[in-house]
A and B are shown apart, each in its own frame.
Chain A
Amino acid sequence: MNLFIYNRIRSFLIAVSVVISLLFSTTIFAENKIIQAPTFVLPGIDNTEVNLEDYRGKVVLVDFWASWCTPCIRSFPWMDEMVDKYGEQGFEIIAINMDQESILATKFLQRYPNKLTIAFDPQGVVAEQYEIMGLPNSFILNRKGEIVYKHVGFRLAELDKYEAEILSLLPQD
Chain B
Amino acid sequence: MQLKSKNKTFTNISISLAAATCALAAPVTAQPSESDSWNVDAGLLIYVESDEQVQAYEGALSITKQIDDERSINVKGVIDVLTGASPNGAVAQNRAQTFTRPSGNGTYTTAAGDTPLDDTFRDTRVALSTQYQHQLSRLWLYSGGVYLSKEYDYLALSINSALARDFNNRNTTASAGFAYAYDTIEPEGGIPIAGVSVDEADNRLTDSDTKQTLDLLFGVTQVINRQALMQFNYSLSDVSGYQTDPFKILSVVDSNGWANDYVYENRPEQRSKQSLFWRTKYNLQPSGQVLDVSYRYFWDDWGITSHTIDSKWRVQLSNQHFIEPHLRYYSQQAADFYRVYLDENQPIPEYMTADYRLGELQTYTIGLKYGLPIAGNEFSVRLEYYLTQVTGDDSLAKGAGMAGVDLYPDKSAIMLQSFYRF
Contact = CB atoms under 8 A, between A and B. Distances in A.
Direct contact of A and B (CB under 8 A): yes
Interface in A64-104: 67-71, 73-74, 77, 100
Interface stretch (B23-31, B41-49, B98-106, B381-389): B23-31
Contacts of B70: 155
A68 B283 CA distance: 16
B202 interface: no
Interface residues on B, range: 10 to 19
Given A133-B169, A134-B170, A156 B28 contact: no
A107 B329 CA distance: 42
Given A74-B32, A152-B138, A157 B24 contact: no
A108 B31 CA distance: 11
B69 A108 contact: no
A68 B69 contact: no
B138 A153 contact: yes
Q: B-side binding surface: helix, strand, loop or mixed? A: loop
A68 B24 CA distance: 10
Nearest to A74: B32
Interface residues of A, number: 19
B68 interface: yes
Given A133-B169, A134-B170, A153-B138, A70 B69 contact: no
A157 B69 contact: yes
A156 B25 contact: no
A6 B127 CA distance: 44
Contact of B25 (A68, A74, A100, A111): A68
B32 A73 contact: yes
B248 to A, nearest CB: 50
Contacts of A77: 31-32
Given A134-B170, A156-B69, A157-B69, A108 B28 contact: yes
A152 B153 CA distance: 52
A134 B138 CA distance: 10
A112 B31 CA distance: 8
Given A68-B28, A155-B70, 13 more contacts: A69-B25, A70-B24, A70-B25, A70-B28, A71-B24, A108-B28, A112-B31, A133-B169, A134-B170, A152-B138, A153-B69, A155-B69, A157-B69
13 contacts: A69-B25, A70-B24, A70-B25, A70-B32, A71-B24, A71-B69, A108-B28, A111-B28, A133-B169, A152-B138, A153-B69, A157-B68, A157-B69
